[in-house]
Every structure is written in C-alpha cells, then in structure tokens.
Structure 1
Amino acid sequence: MSTIEFNQMLLNNAEFLKPFAATLTRDNEAAKDLFQETLYRALANRDKYNVGTNIKAWLYTIMRNIFINNYRRRSKQSVVFDNTPNDFLLNLNQGAVKNEAIANINMKEVQEAIFNLPEIFKNPFLLYYDGFKYHEIAEILNEPLGTIKSRIHFARKLLKTHIERF
C-alpha cells in the first residue's frame, strides 16, 4: 500500500476517534491532544499496519494504549498544586532568627493546656499524640472507636480555644 493510499484511508476513518478520545479523557483539550498523538503514531508506524485488517480497530488500539500509558505515567508522578498566595516572598531578604527560648515557652504552654484538659479527653489525646492509631486507643481504653474519635476531636477543639495565638 502506498503512502498516499494509507493517508487517505487514515483520514477517512479517523473521525470516530474524536468522541472516543473525549470519552477517555473527559477533557476537550486533552482529547484533542490524544487524537493528534494517535494520528501521529499511526503515521509513524504505518509499516506495522497489515493491509486488509480493520483500520478502525487498529487506530482504536493505538489510542487506547496511548491513553493507558499516559495515565500510568501520570499516576507515578506526584503532582502538588500550590494555590497559596505568594505574598510572603515580598520580604524574602529579611532573615528570621530562631529563638529557642520562645519555642520552649510555647511548648510548655501547649503541654500545660494538654494537662489541663478533662481526663475524659486528655487520656485518648495523649495516646494519639504519642502515635497510637484510633483503633489501638479504643482497645487500650476499652471504648468504642467512634467515642475515641470524638473525644480526640473535642480535645483538639478545647486546645485550640486555650491556645489561640498558634
């Protein structure tokens, strides 16, 4: 099959790929990119097309494989979106000096606030603070899991009201 014949057959049978690309990606721009990449790969690999086979199935397979490979590639990458304002960069040249005395005072205030909690909230919170999981705390204190979660939640709320400047 000549290059012109293959190109003509490709153009005649490529339109069904657009809705399929939109279904796969659920994004108009990504669908356009996927469609273009599929046509590019089909043209680049026209020597692998067997004359007489279903061109639509061949193109469908190419598109599906590109989509799957791109999905796998994206899932391995960790993407973090930073939507925070960058106002803090305005005074970037100002140096911050770490003051351990203030940090120690702040930590003492936090510990004092924890130990001033009612016993019903303090015990589960201290276990959680020490690194135990909710279900482990529930087993240790012989309480239902939901009770432990709510007590830790209320302990956090009480601490937040006692220590407002943090």
Structure 2
Amino acid sequence: MHNTLEFNTIDKVSANLKPVAIKLTKDIEQANDLMQETLIKAFVNREKFKEGTNLQAWLYTIMKNIFITNYQRVARRKTLLDQTDNQHILNTSDKTIENKAYSNFAMEEINAAIDKVKKIYRVPFKLYFKGFKYQEIAEALDIPIGTVKNRIHMARQMLKGSLKQYGYLDK
C-alpha cells in the first residue's frame, strides 16, 4: 500500500462497518447513506490516513463523527428557542400528534383521586398546584408554613398510592 489509500482497499474494509451503520441509524436506507458519506469522506481525505494504523478504526471514527454531526443538525432543526423572559428550549417534531383521549381519561382519574383526599390536605395541595407559594397558602388558610408544607406532602403521598399506574408525583 502506498502513502495514500486506494478506493478498493477502503471498499473492502468498509463492508465490516455496515452493521455498525445499521445499529447507529436503525434504518437500512439511512445506513446506506451513512456508509456512502463515510466512504466519500474517507476517499477524499485518504492522504490523512497514516499507513500502519487500523484502517477499519479510522473508517469507524469517520462514520461515527458523520452520524453525530447529522444527528445534531436534525436536533437543532427541531429545537425552538422561546424568547420570553424565562427562556426554555422546546423540542418540536412534525410527526407528533396528541391523543387527547388518554390525557382526558387520565385527568378524570387524577381529579377523582384528588377529590378523595381529605379536605384538610386537598385545599393546600390544590392551591400549591395552581401556583401559590407556601407563604401565600399559609396566609390564606391562616396556618403555619410548616403545616402547609406537611399537608401538601401528605396529599402527595396519598395521591402517589392511588395514581401509581401513571407514574405521577414520583419525583
């Protein structure tokens, strides 16, 4: 082999990388595209390959870098920056369709579970859920802030038991 790689040499070794491309992309067509991009980039940059080093590892590195770059490009395209005071990054997808039937059903069960919680715990919990601060709840209910925190905690514990199937309130 000379100081530069020949296309035939790259092509022979690249066959071993096809399974890696499939594993990365999880799609045959995308894997073929990734393989093609890898081979083109390797051939164009063949003078950068150091003779005596592992050709397959070099090709794998090129493939991995192309995959990561493409993935980041797609992720950036699907990310919006919220321009409000509290900036949030929102991931979007053209393929997302919301199924309100499940969420409506879940909300009915959640509201029913909340309604079953004793009023002494339910009221501070609902106020907290609506966005009131502990201090505001304490003042509104004329109880100590520690009691407010305790009652909200107790309400959460009661709801955890009755809403396990949704995985809510585990955090």
Question: Under a length normalisation based on structure 1, what TM-score does the superposition of the two structures give?
Answer: 0.54
SS for the counterpart of 2:151 is: coil
Q: Which runs of 5+ in 1 are unaligned?
A: 85-117, 155-166
What is the Cα deviation at residue 54 of structure 1? 2.4
Distance 1:61 1:82, change over 3 A: closer
Considering only aligned residues, what root-mean-square deviation do their CA atoms show, in Å? 3.7
SS for the counterpart of 2:14 is: coil
SS for the counterpart of 1:142 is: helix
Worse-matched range after superposition: 49-58 or 29-38: 49-58
| Matching residue of 2:151 | 143
Distance 1:129 1:150, change over 3 A: farther
Separation in 1, partners of 2:32, 2:3: 27
What is the Cα deviation at residue 6 of structure 1? 0.6
Q: Which is greater in Rg?
A: 1
Q: Deviations over 1:57-100 (max 9, x none)?
A: 2111111221222333344443323436xxxxxxxxxxxxxxxx
What is the Cα deviation at residue 144 of structure 1? 6.2
| Matching residue of 1:79 | 92
Q: Which amino acid in structure 2 is aligned with residue 79 of structure 1?
A: T
Q: Which amino acid in structure 2 is aligned with residue 142 of structure 1?
A: N
Q: Deviations over 1:100-155 (max 9, x none)?
A: xxxxxxxxxxxxxxxxxx5643332122213559xx9996341363623756xx9x
| Matching residue of 1:60 | 60
Q: Deviations over 1:21-60 (max 9, x none)?
A: 1122222232222111111111221221223332212111
| Matching residue of 2:124 | 123
Separation in 1, partners of 2:3, 2:36: 22
Q: Which amino acid in structure 1 is aligned with residue 122 of structure 2?
A: F
Q: Is the 8 A contact 2:18 2:31 kept in 1?
A: yes
Separation in 2, partners of 1:141, 1:2: 72
Identity over aligned pairs, percent: 34
Distance 1:44 1:132, change over 3 A: farther
